[in-house]
Structure 1
Amino acid sequence: MTDTWVALEAGADPVRRRGALRRAYESFTTAGHVEHPVRSVVADSWKRSARAHVSPEGSACVDLTDDALAAYRDGHPLARVMPLFRELMSAYALDGEHLVAVCDAHGRLLWVEGHAAARRAAGGMNFVPGARWAESVAGTNAPGTAIAVDRPVQVFAAEHFQRPVHAWTCAAAPVHDPGTGRLLGAVDITGGDRLAHPHSLAFVGAVARAAESQLALLAPPPGAGCSQLSALGRDEALLLTAGRKIPLSRRHSEILTLLAHRPEGVTGDELLVELYEDESVPPVTLRAELFRLRGLLGPELLRSRPYRLAGTVDTDFDTVARLLASGAVTSAMNAYAGPLLPGSQAPAVVRIRRRLADQLRAALVARGDPGLLADWAYSPWGEEDLPVWRAL
């Protein structure tokens, strides 16, 4: 097989492959052995599913229903491109007796549409709106695994980790915010063996790219002099300013995070203390970093005496804090892409990171919503968070 992301190469016999995969699946679930013809992307996913204690006999759980589901998906960024998904995929799904599904970044299905008979059959395995199909809960499956590996993937028959899904084939691709690169969710097409073809994976990938292009067109233009800093869930921040996307080094990410958090400005001595654990770092080291950063951003954005950012800089971490302050816990959780600069040990960044995580955790526990608590608990940063697990 030339492409590990494609489940069945053109011309392969699906019946023979299905049988071989069934035998390999039984070997893995009984003895933990990965055998031919299991692809590496599937083997890795099986191992993650096993580590997460996903039951091979289980099925996805439903987190949201009725009014709660309607309110959540109406406020989700992908709601704006649902008309595009329907235009590009509905006829294909109906003609082929397939389903079109869209999930959020936590693997929760927001929309499941398509052929009526396929919807009824999929309901038997809880492939329904409001159900959580994250890999950590439902095991290997196209939307959940596409989110886990952040790229388009196809899953065929017994490649699925849970037995109730073995009759199905699915292909999914992640969808990102075109401005910040933040993962928003995934678009998926699910059906029978006819989807086990390279074309279906290429198709769903093209639909995801079209959605990102549409989101870019729908995005409101930034205000004059307004910049955007994305630093949640990434070790190196991304700055959007004056129509430019500027990837930042780790140290520059820390500097901009602190300056955005302190719009009134800070002195060089304050910056030195807030950025470096080692008190012996000489001031010239910081001045050199600031000189390089000013060359990258331009003097019109980075000012001195005191060091500060000119104009307005909106940050994703301040957005989460504002949402929490207003009581919008669901929106805050949806906007939280992960810990602030998780690899940073800069004292100021560590304080801001811990404070934001503590505030969000406290709000989730106080709200007591099982779906939101599960979003946190099954995330990479929440898997060992005992207070949240106790609240579930």
Structure 2
Amino acid sequence: MGQRDLEAALPAGADPRQHAHVLARVHEAAVAGRELPTRPRPVISASWERMRRLGVDPDGVPTAPVLTFEQLEGRRRASGLAEALPTLRGGLTSLAEQAAHIMVIVDAGGHVLWRDGSAAVSRRADRVGFVEGADWQEEAVGTNAIGTTLVTRRAMQVYSAEHYVRAQHFWTCAAAPLHDPRDGRLLGVVDLSGPASTVHASTLALVDAVTRLAETQLRTTHLTELERLRGFAVPVLAKVGGPAVVADEHGWVAAASGLAPVDRIALPSGLAPGRAWLPAYGSVAVEPVPGGWLIRLTEDEVAPLTRVVLDVRSPREPDLTVTSGAGTWTHRLSPRHAEMLYVLASRRDGRSASELSLDLFGDAGRTVTVRAEMSRLRRHFGGILGAKPYRFADDVEVLVRRPDNAEAVLPHSLAPAIRG
């Protein structure tokens, strides 16, 4: 796993109490529509702007109903987080109790699934509706580490008056996203919260490290499952007699025959037995096997691509749909890949690695990251994308579906080419 950016709340060397006073003045000016005495962090400024557009009341209280016990248990089972729970509790619960914090685990939909830690802090959390079963998305409770991490997909800390709702100004929170290592899907958010007076710069790094450890253990479990599938796949491929691959349901390749080896292929959502079309291979025949799919290349003539639709109307689940004479294929995109494809769709003449680095990071020097991500995209999407410069293929029609409000395009993104 590569290094992740951490959005810490306290500037280096800042006095927490003095910084809280500055934030309070900034917050008062912001909600009153006056000129700000200083600018909040860009990620906080962007979140406050979302709160104004949504009409969130800075003096409000949570109004969304808390889940019933049956609903809560159902979301716990469906979350995919239960397997990570022992690691998260082992790494954070005792620390939370000692440091006057609570550990909170939230699913991808923003609902609090588990809460552990200091009993005294838990009672304070009860008073602001920060309870198991509560909806802690931005639109429900304003800017906060959990809800804003769900939008930005970045580990971040929110301190004192950075919270949009005044009732939360007495809190400091540090949260990190937890992803499914099999498909990159966001499973939820892990958070440590406590009184604002307990703020510490290292809290965010700790939460992020424990969350990454949980992701590593989930990945280890997946590799064990993939190895089990490999033992089944090798004899099956020996009988096929043509180019074929056996992959698990997430596209991770257990074994291949007659094809260049790759770690993973992009599979559409709702893949079913029968004929299909994959950007990496063209026309294929798909058969279910225990734990995955047998995918055989066919000799059907590959129909030319006609249209690519990049749909960014959903703030959290952008996707790419490819239509050809062989059918339609849809793939959900990671936030980073959605950013890159959005830029390329806007610049059909293409972008060099340094130009794309400037578009995404405001820094032309991060070309190693750009090349690595573009390599992943091109492995997934075969003939759709070209290189030197990076671009959509010339014979592909590209359509971008955007939300009505331009500010709502990929709201997680701080990329200059998108926010500009």
TM-score (norm 2): 0.60
Q: Give the superposed CA RMSD.
A: 3.6
The reply to whether residue 48 of structure 1 matches residue 50 of structure 2 is: yes
Give the counterpart letter for 1:264 in structure 2.
G
Give 1:240's aligned residue.
Answer: 252
Give the drift of 1:62.
Answer: 3.7
Once the two structures are superposed, the pairs formed by residues 368-383 of structure 1 within 5 Å of their partners are none
The reply to whether residue 184 of structure 1 matches residue 196 of structure 2 is: no
The reply to whether residue 227 of structure 1 matches residue 231 of structure 2 is: no
Give the drift of 1:342.
Answer: 3.9
Give the counterpart letter for 2:129 in structure 1.
N
Higher RCO (C-alpha 8 Å, min separation 6):
1
Q: Of residues 152, 169, 173 in structure 2, which corresponds to 1:170?
A: 173
Q: Of residues 80, 83, 87 in structure 1, which corresponds to 2:86?
A: 83
Q: Of residues 275, 285, 304 in structure 2, which corresponds to 1:265?
A: 275
How big is each residue's C-alpha offset from its partner over 1:221-266, in whole Å with a ceiling of 9 and x where there is no partner? 1433442465xxxxxxxx3212887576xxxx6xx549x8464336
Partners of 2:295 and 2:329 in 1: CA distance: 25
Give 1:156's aligned residue.
Answer: 159
1:265–1:307 contact (8 Å) kept in structure 2 = no
How big is each residue's C-alpha offset from its partner over 1:155-205, in whole Å with a ceiling of 9 and x where there is no partner? 000000111101000000000001111000010000123543220010010
Partners of 2:66 and 2:402 in 1: CA distance: 20
Partners of 1:342 and 1:34 in 2: CA distance: 40
Greater helix share, 1 or 2?
1
Partners of 2:67 and 2:13 in 1: CA distance: 41
Report % sequence identity.
33
Give 1:214's aligned residue.
Answer: 217
How big is each residue's C-alpha offset from its partner over 1:282-329, in whole Å with a ceiling of 9 and x where there is no partner? xxxx9xx75899xxxxxx955122479xxxxxxxxxxxxxxxxxxxxx
Secondary structure at 2:328's aligned position in 1? helix
Partners of 2:15 and 2:75 in 1: CA distance: 42
How big is each residue's C-alpha offset from its partner over 1:45-67, in whole Å with a ceiling of 9 and x where there is no partner? 11112222222112333431222
2:150–2:177 contact (8 Å) kept in structure 1 = yes
Greater strand share, 1 or 2?
2
Partners of 1:75 and 1:262 in 2: CA distance: 22
How big is each residue's C-alpha offset from its partner over 1:318-351, in whole Å with a ceiling of 9 and x where there is no partner? xxxxxxxxxxxxxxxxxxx846x34545584379
Residues 44, 242 of structure 1: alpha-carbon distance in 2 compared, 3 angstrom cutoff: same
Partners of 1:383 and 1:58 in 2: CA distance: 27
Give the counterpart letter for 2:21 in structure 1.
G
Give the drift of 1:69.
Answer: 1.0
Q: Of residues 77, 93, 96 in structure 1, which corresponds to 2:96?
A: 93
Partners of 1:229 and 1:35 in 2: CA distance: 53
Partners of 1:15 and 1:104 in 2: CA distance: 32
Residues 50, 217 of structure 1: alpha-carbon distance in 2 compared, 3 angstrom cutoff: same
1:142–1:153 contact (8 Å) kept in structure 2 = yes
Secondary structure at 1:111's aligned position in 2? strand
Give the drift of 1:150.
Answer: 0.5
Residue-pair matches, total:
287
Give the drift of 1:77.
Answer: 1.2
Once the two structures are superposed, the pairs formed by residues 55-66 of structure 1 within 5 Å of their partners are 55-60=57-62, 61-66=64-69
